[in-house]
Amino acid sequence: MDIKQKIDQANEAAVKRMIEGDPVLVDIAPAGEVIPGMTGKMITHSGPPIDWKHMCGAQRGALIGQTIYEGWASTPEEAGALLEKGVIKLEPNHHHQTVGPMAGTISSSSPVWVVENRTSGNRAFCRQVEGFQQFGDYHDEALKGLRMWRDVWAPTLSKSLKSIGSLDLKPIITKALQMGDELHNRHSASSSLFANEMAMAIAKTELPKDDMFATLGYITHHELIFLGLAMAAGKAIADPARDIEYSTLVTAMCRNGTEFGIRVSGLGDEWFIAPSPSVEGLYLTGYSVKDAGLDMGDSAIAETVGWGGFVLGGAPGILSLVGGTPDEALAYTREMRTITAGTHPTYRMPVFGFEGAPIGIDIRKVVQTGSAPIIDTAIAHKDPGYPKIGAGLVRAPMECFKKALIAFGKKYQ
């Protein structure tokens, strides 16, 4: 078998693993209890590896907030000093089977979604999705959401989940993709479907009334709650496709606001890194492109498994948010089909005659066609202390794929 055949075969196997992924929510638990390697004074963050001095303003702000939340410092200055000194270990979420949106900061008391891939048995974790601290806001108001999640919402959901055992995510995802969600920026349908299931579970569970109402209120009014679950599901689906010899498929795409990194199945743990791009998008009133930070977050795991920007064609509702037209959305999905190895048999798009979503980014095709994966994402402020300022579209940097291809050429000479 020549190398081209070996690659095609390996990619087939990798895509199959992704397609067979069966994500199930099995728990919501503190990171310290469930995330491998989460010990002591450690905060995991989004994106490829990076040190404090190179981090962008928003991620630093989020780390300061996380440090105060964890009780390791009582003021932003103290927190900053600790982080500066290197007292707190900083590691990428991806090194711990985890993902997190925007700054993506997680520490041991942060409750995380625990999603298990029933087909391959692996687990993945994701922190909550909220609109303040993960964008770099470290003020007390911003940390309130983290505390409520830790003290009320997450434990309530955890107990309620036990009443029903577990929650299959594949049916929710499948339906949501046909209801106009793309599972990166738009989760209205999936969040509703999730809330429906959990509401029943909550109702079945012995709970203090206040907690029950607070949590019901939380899950039924959080339009993006499913993003956390989708991200964990994406990670759980992508991880089994890792480490397949000869495979040129992308198993991770993530950003930390400074750099953009990808991992490739046949190239092990190596990160292929380029400067994080800026996002073309729409801004909330009062903000503009000069306030914007660079692309940030592990949420590109959505595109890694064929959601988000890849199924924009089925989510015209998101377009006004990211500033595109329906024709453009369809064109993006068609374009993504030219850089992927396969289409998903279950996740289908009505607008394409129910043909499957493109899945399995092939670095060879990306470099050959010059089409980099399209990601639709939220925009953070470049300075710490602000909530989300906009949303838009961004292309993964071609440089990452070129570097990966060169490395692949060298390794499999």
**Residues binding other proteins (CB under 8 A):** 3-4, 7, 22, 168, 170-171, 174-175, 178, 248, 327, 330-331, 334-335, 337-338, 345-346, 348, 350-356, 364-365, 367-371, 398, 402, 405-406, 408-409, 412
User: In angstroms, rounded to a whole number, what is the distance separating the alpha carbons of residues 100 and 232?
Assistant: 9
For other proteins, the closer CB: 289 or 331: 331
Q: Indicate the helix (H) or strand (E) that contains 3.
A: helix 3-20
For other proteins, the closer CB: 157 or 367: 367
For other proteins, the closer CB: 222 or 337: 337
For other proteins, the closer CB: 138 or 194: 194
> What's the min distance (Å) between Cβ of 368 and other proteins?
5
> What's the min distance (Å) between Cβ of 225 and other proteins?
21
For other proteins, the closer CB: 6 or 144: 6
Q: What share of the chain is helix, strand, coil (3-state, %, to 5)?
A: 45, 20, 30
> What's the min distance (Å) between Cβ of 116 and other proteins?
15
For other proteins, the closer CB: 320 or 368: 368
User: In angstroms, rounded to a whole number, what is the distance separating the alpha carbons of residues 98 and 254?
Assistant: 11
User: In angstroms, rounded to a whole number, what is the distance separating the alpha carbons of residues 33 and 395?
Assistant: 36
Q: How many CB atoms lie within 10 A of CB 268?
A: 11
For other proteins, the closer CB: 155 or 313: 313
> What's the min distance (Å) between Cβ of 275 and other proteins?
17
> What's the min distance (Å) between Cβ of 192 and other proteins?
16
> What's the min distance (Å) between Cβ of 405 and other proteins?
6
For other proteins, the closer CB: 4 or 147: 4
> What's the min distance (Å) between Cβ of 171 and other proteins?
5
- Length of the chain, in residues: 413
Structure-token match 């920026």, residue found? 185
User: In angstroms, rounded to a whole number, what is the distance separating the alpha carbons of residues 276 and 261?
Assistant: 8
Cβ–Cβ under 8 Å, residues 413 and 300: no
List Cα–Cα distances, 14 to 234, 244, 342, in angstroms. Answer: 14, 7, 10
Give the pair of three-digit tokens for residue 305.
């498994």
> What's the min distance (Å) between Cβ of 313 and other proteins?
9
Cβ–Cβ under 8 Å, residues 375 and 184: yes
**What value does the CA radius of gyration of the chain take, rounded to a whole number of Å?**
20
Sign of CA dihedral 203, 206, 209, 213: negative
User: In angstroms, rounded to a whole number, what is the distance separating the alpha carbons of residues 253 and 238?
Assistant: 11
> What's the min distance (Å) between Cβ of 337 and other proteins?
7
> What's the min distance (Å) between Cβ of 276 and other proteins?
20
The DSSP result for 166-224, as a single string, is -EE-HHHHHHHHTTT--SSS--HHHHHHHHHHHHHHHHHS---HHHHHHHHHHHHS-TT
User: To 5 degrees, how large is the angle CA 183–CA 188–CA 189?
Assistant: 85
Q: Counting Cβ atoms within 10 Å, is residue 297 exposed (0-12), middle (13-18) or buried (19+)? A: buried
